Amino acid sequence: MIKYAIFDLDDTLLDFKRGKREGLTKIMTKYGVSDLKQGFDTYTKINYQVWEAIEQGQARDALLNTRFSKAFNLLGIKVDGAAVEAEYRSSLDTNFYKLQGVDELLSDLKAAGVHLLVGTNGVKETQLRRLKGSGLEHYFEDYFISEDIGFAKPDKRFFEPMFKKYGNLTTNAVMVGDRLQADVLGAKRAQLNSIWYNPQALVVQSYQPTYVANSFKQIKKIILNA
């Protein structure tokens, strides 16, 4: 059995896509985007570029404060990027949607004696509020969030506070997440095993994970039987 399971949050345990879509719909409707599909597609492209830069070590806050101004500019609309980012962040703070089966997974792992940790990129206040609002916070012993640490996955320095607190995790821990670029690569750089949560059964094209799980049942089986 694996002793420590480090869980990503967004689209691994929490239904970030649902909350994001609701938040973006409100923002784009407010600022006059008539074609929501075009708006979503434009924002998604810019947002991917922003998070790719953040994961490469560039300044997080400055980049996040430009993603809406850049996206809306491509849509022909001028906005205050930092102000819209604050509005969007407020919406995300109340995104408490959980993926189906999350409580059963975490409850079973905790009951089996697995130590559960959160390891997520994002804004500390937002992530902690969502953990509390979703009712998931009581499953976890500790939370490691990129804003607090100063480094984001896949930077191996993201994991240093975990190693400092819990000792050598390389032989008894696993990183569980949905993103190859962040979770799997980050774990590899930190010499940790990884489980790629892949419910859409996508083909691995890079950053080979230690394990691949298409369901929470598979995640549980890997952690308890490894």
- Give catalytic residues, as residue numbers: 8, 10
**Using an 8 Å Cβ cutoff, are 60 and 152 in contact?**
yes
Backbone angles phi, psi at 208, to 5 degrees: -55, 120
- 113 Ramachandran zone, left/alpha/beta (phi>0; psi -120 to 50): left
Q: Crossing angle, helix 81-93 and helix 16-30, to 10 degrees?
A: 140
Could you tell me which residues come within 8 angstroms of residue 167 by beta carbon, excluding any fewer than 6 positions away? Answer: none
Q: Which of 158, 122, 166 is nearest to 141 (CA)?
A: 166
Six token digits for residue 42: 């434009």
User: Among positive and negative, which fits the CA dihedral 172, 216, 115, 119?
Assistant: positive
Q: Which of 183, 185, 188, 154 is nearest to 170 (CA)?
A: 188
List, in sequence order, the alpha helices (H) in 112-215.
124-134, 146-149, 160-166, 185-189
